Amino acid sequence: MIKRSISIVNNKGGTGKTTTTINVAAALAKNKRKVLVIDLDMQRNATEWLGNFGDENSIYEVIVNNADMNQHICSSRIENIDIVPASRNMISIEIDLAKKKKQVQTILRDKINSLNNSYDYVLIDCPPTLGFMTINALAGSKEVLIPVEASILALKGVAQILETIDAVQGGLNPELKLAGVVVTRVNKQTRHAKDAIQILKKRFDSKLFKTAIRENIRLKESPGFQMPINEYDRRCNGTKDYQSLAREVMKQEGK
């Protein structure tokens, strides 16, 4: 049984999707939640962050070649976190799906529904596009979490994400809901960041997480050591921020 499934989505790169996926997963895992990460991004950053996995066990095989997802779940280096990794074949996955004649938008939903293992959370790291992979994630999950960089320019793409969510709610997944929006890469010393946060507060109100993820050099360093921030530096702002965000996410449980 899957208790919560959340897609981490933004069609703009550099907003902290993978950083948020991994570090929320790690914070949840520290709180004894069992987490499955699904890496849909052809850059494979979440996969490389959590361990070294071969291409034979990958989400590509599950989605394109109809493999059993249960057979492609790998244990990560972190207790309570499993992963369905991305492979190098991901670079062609959109083209490969376009060649299929059957319905391709709901493949991931069917695979998630077939999982044998019980997870408290399935977190889906989406690519920075609104193509087949992201649509599959939205169709296959119950919730969406949107990381948004604290920048006025970055806010402009949010409307397109919301339109896509509305479209999926109207057809493929009526149960889909917004878990929340989290502001990332925040420099609270700048007026620009403060203005962006105020705009988001007006737009999303209670759906804006109270936690803001501050700019932090340790967050940038930690992927290179294949460590979530709470293992790399337990005292830094990045750890404090993602622990706070995870607490907010957990408070939503059962709602």
Mind listing the pLDDT tens digit for each residue in 109-121? 999 999 998 899 9
Q: What is the mean pLDDT of residues 179-184?
A: 96
Cα 145 from Cα 9, distance rounded (Å): 6
Q: What is the mean pLDDT of residues 150-174?
A: 90
Q: What is the pLDDT of residue 100?
A: 82
In which band, very low, low, confident or very high, does the pLDDT at 124 lie, cut at 50, 70 and 90? very high
SS3 182: strand
How high is the mean pLDDT of the chain?
A: 93
The encoded tokens of residue 200 equal 């988001």
Provide the terminal-to-terminal Cα distance of the chain, rounded to the nearest Å.
Answer: 17
| Contacts within 8 Å (CB) and 24+ apart, 204-210 | 204/180, 207/178, 207/180, 207/181, 208/180, 208/181, 208/182, 208/183, 209/180, 209/181, 209/182, 209/183, 209/245, 209/248, 210/244, 210/248
Cα 137 from Cα 79, distance rounded (Å): 24
Nearest to 133 by CA among 83, 64, 73, 195: 64
Cα 5 from Cα 96, distance rounded (Å): 25
Q: What is the mean pLDDT of residues 146-152?
A: 91
Q: What is the pLDDT of residue 194?
A: 87
- Enumerate residues 6+ apart whose C-beta is below 8 A from 144: 6, 7, 9, 138, 165, 176, 177, 178, 179
Q: What is the CATH number of domain 2-251?
A: 3.40.50.300
In which band, very low, low, confident or very high, does the pLDDT at 219 lie, cut at 50, 70 and 90? very high
Name the residue ranges covered by the structural domains of the chain.
Answer: 2-251
In which band, very low, low, confident or very high, does the pLDDT at 57 lie, cut at 50, 70 and 90? confident
Nearest to 2 by CA among 143, 147, 138, 209: 143
Nearest to 200 by CA among 24, 15, 26: 15
pTM: 0.95
Q: What is the pLDDT of residue 117?
A: 84
pLDDT of residue 13 exceeding 90? no
In which band, very low, low, confident or very high, does the pLDDT at 15 lie, cut at 50, 70 and 90? confident
Cα 252 from Cα 34, distance rounded (Å): 16
Cα 119 from Cα 137, distance rounded (Å): 17
SS3 38: strand
Q: What is the mean pLDDT of residues 156-185?
A: 93
pLDDT: which is higher, 54 or 237: 237
Q: Do 209 and 245 form a contact (C-beta atoms < 8 A)? A: yes
Q: Do 185 and 16 form a contact (C-beta atoms < 8 A)? A: yes
pLDDT: which is higher, 45 or 154: 45
Q: What is the pLDDT of residue 53?
A: 87
In which band, very low, low, confident or very high, does the pLDDT at 156 lie, cut at 50, 70 and 90? confident
Q: Is the dihedral of CA 50, 55, 61, 63 positive or negative?
A: positive
